[in-house]
Amino acid sequence: MESSTLRDAIYAVRKVRLGLERRRLDYGEETRERADRLAEILSASVAELREYEREYDDLEWFHESYADRVAEIHEAGVATDTTHWRDGVTLYVVCRALEVETAVETGVLFGSFDAHILAAMEENGGGALHSVDLPGGPPGPFEYGHLIPDRCRDRWRLHQGDARAVLPGLLEDVGPVDLFLHDSDHRLPHMRFEYETALPRIASGGVLASHDVRLSRLFDRFTGENGLQSCVVCDTGIARRPRQ
């Protein structure tokens, strides 16, 4: 119990520190550099990646639905910072560039990242996303994945349960994954568990992604230990397994 309390306290301090760091970071500059950073680890040129960014900007069917659902959440007064649109664009671009077909992610809440991954799959013309979160749902009168547009919702599978219990079997069942995204419990023991569990199941050339990587140095250490090329754009780390 004492060790758990200490971990919680350390995590709380890191969240405060990250909040202060975000005030100093130039997210506009990082967004402008997104294509350049991703081109260093993906098999796509800067020009191709910027074209996917423009494609996202022009994706009317997605933005109309997404904006309406974001407004519903804000009007309910239950959340103001759950849209993560900058990081969502990064995941959209990655999924388009790699033509991701099978993805697994942890930590759904309102489903901002789910929505962006699924939108990319819709444009790819195929794919399925398996998401894991604890039983229950987000705050307010909403269900998990509220932000996911109806047009791409049939590509989504929600698995409710503790990731420590659900994730190993799920990864075995779905086979090699093109993208694994961690966005659940960001305390170090759980992050390392998810990274270590997912990495052997990521396909050759596939991606390990993680949100809020600036809370600690774990993402950088883990990718370095395992020989993965990686970059960070805003709050999301992207690491790619070498092609074999």
pLDDT (0 to 100) of residue 181? 98
Q: Is the model's pLDDT at 90 over the cut of 50?
A: yes
pLDDT (0 to 100) of residue 28? 87
pLDDT (0 to 100) of residue 10? 44
What is the mean pLDDT of the segment spanning 218-226? 97
Residue with tokens 């309406």: 68
- When comparing pLDDT for 81 and 96, which is higher? 96
Residues 6+ apart with CB under 8 A from 115: 62, 66, 88, 145, 147, 148, 149, 152
Strand, helix or coil for residue 236:
strand
Strands (E), the chain: 102-106, 128-133, 156-160, 177-182, 202-211, 229-233, 236-240
End-to-end Cα spacing for the chain:
44
pLDDT (0 to 100) of residue 244? 78
Q: Are 207 and 8 a contacting pair, CB within 8 Å?
A: no
For 152, half-sphere exposure in the C-beta direction (CA atoms, 13 angstrom radius) is 27
Distance CA 80, CA 236 (A): 19
Q: Is the model's pLDDT at 135 over the cut of 70?
A: yes
User: Closest by alpha carbon to 89, among 145, 44, 46, 31?
Assistant: 31
Query: Would you give the DSSP letter of residue 159?
Result: E
Query: What is the DSSP track for 54-65?
Result: HHHHT-HHHHHH
For residue 198 the two structure tokens come to 């997912």
Strand, helix or coil for residue 137:
coil
Q: What does the pLDDT look like over 61-83, one tens digit per residue? A: 999 999 999 999 989 988 756 55
Q: Is the model's pLDDT at 98 over the cut of 80?
A: yes
- When comparing pLDDT for 90 and 17, which is higher? 90
2-240 has which CATH code? 3.40.50.150
Distance CA 98, CA 44 (A): 8
In this structure, the strands spanning 156-160 and 229-233 are: unpaired
pLDDT (0 to 100) of residue 11? 41
Q: Is the model's pLDDT at 38 over the cut of 70?
A: yes
Q: Is the model's pLDDT at 7 over the cut of 50?
A: no
In this structure, the strands spanning 156-160 and 128-133 are: parallel
User: Closest by alpha carbon to 124, among 108, 102, 107, 157?
Assistant: 102
Instruction: Give the H/E segment covering residue 90.
Output: helix 85-98
Encoded amino acid at 183, one letter: D
Q: Is the model's pLDDT at 209 over the cut of 80?
A: yes
User: Closest by alpha carbon to 145, among 134, 161, 156?
Assistant: 156
pLDDT (0 to 100) of residue 42? 96
